[in-house]
Amino acid sequence: MTEDTIHSTWGDWLVSEIEQTSPDGVSIWYLGCNGFVVRSATTTLYIDPYFADASPPGLVRMIPVPMNPIDATECDGVLTTHEHIDHMHPPSYGPLLDDGGMLYAPSACYESADYHGDLRVNEDQREVIAAGDSFTVGDFKVHVRGANDSDAIEPVSYVIEHDTGTFFHGGDSKPAAEFEAIGDEFDIDLGVLAIGTVGRVYHEAENETRSTKWYMTTSESVEAANALQLDRFLPSHYDMWKGVLDDPKSLHEDAASFEYPRSLEIVRIGDRVDLDSTGVVPPSSHR
């Protein structure tokens, strides 16, 4: 069990489900941790894919590995929010880009990645991005904006526009001054923010276990969602690491007194939501 090990708990079921789907608009699958697939009829993006077993006792993965990237045949681009290993993980994104497509990541991801090994993507497939940039991938317009993650060197967030609507991914950001400006600039239909508890985590480099806060609390995340003026808020990362797990159901009470978000999308690993409508879309085998 290492950071190089990838073994899909579900075989190729999820990636087959994704690639046989031709959305009328935009469909989004939660890959667990902070990973997502954003797919239109013509374009497929992966955001922060991480399919490793992790490295206990420091990082104890609490959810299944939903897919092996070698089984994927459709990927036009991978968006990375920061250099941490569960976001910038070459064994996870490398196979996705074997047949083309670009890796979009801040400079720190290339120069100071937590993963120590080959980047597994050709130099001509590496695009350095920074807050304020915009670029197009297929029928998606991607805007790079700032984020607030004191544990990262150069964190960014992404706003993805499509004719169907607008999707926001905040990476592992905590409440950020930029969020109000982002909320004023874009009409965001669905936004992702990472949540977790403050818990005791073993830190291998220092050989110590200490209180650790990696993500926003539920109450902080609702304040961030309100600043971003999210119509729908989808919490992420709460399911991943032993010691900092959280229960997103408490968000219903936290959000009750705020204007935004208008609604909550509570999903589990492997779930699909559509950008233009609320609720989890069952897999094809369950309809």
Q: How confident is the model at residue 1 (pLDDT cuts 50, 70, 90)?
A: very low
Question: Helix 218-228 to helix 178-185 angle, to the nearest 10 degrees?
Answer: 40
pLDDT score for 2: 59
Q: What residues contact 232, with CB distance under 8 A and at least 6 apart?
A: 189, 190, 191, 261, 262, 263, 264, 265, 278
pLDDT tier at 56, thresholds 50, 70, 90 = confident
- Compute the mean pLDDT over every residue in the chain, rounded to the nearest whole number: 96
Distance CA 17, CA 23 (A): 12
Average pLDDT over residues 111-135: 97
The percent of residues in the chain predicted with pLDDT above 90, rounded, is: 93
- Range 264-285 average pLDDT: 97
Instruction: Look at residue 214 and tell me whether its pLDDT is greater than 90.
Output: yes
Which tokens belong to 275? 């950008």
> Which residues face 190 on adjacent strands?
167, 232
- All structural domains of the chain, each given as residue ranges with its CATH number in brackets, are 13-278 (3.60.15.10)
Question: 263 is written with which tokens?
Answer: 């609604």
CA angle 215, 217, 222 (to 5 degrees): 110
pLDDT at 117: 92
pTM: 0.97
Mean pLDDT of 75-83: 99
Residue 181 near residue 188, CB atoms below 8 Å:
no
Going by C-alpha positions, the residue among 140, 138, 167, 182 that lies closest to residue 276 is 167
Per the listing, tokens 């994704």 go with 18
pLDDT of residue 268: 98
What pLDDT score does 205 carry?
Answer: 86
Q: Name residues whose C-beta falls within 8 Å of residue 181's C-beta, 6 or more positions apart in sequence.
A: none
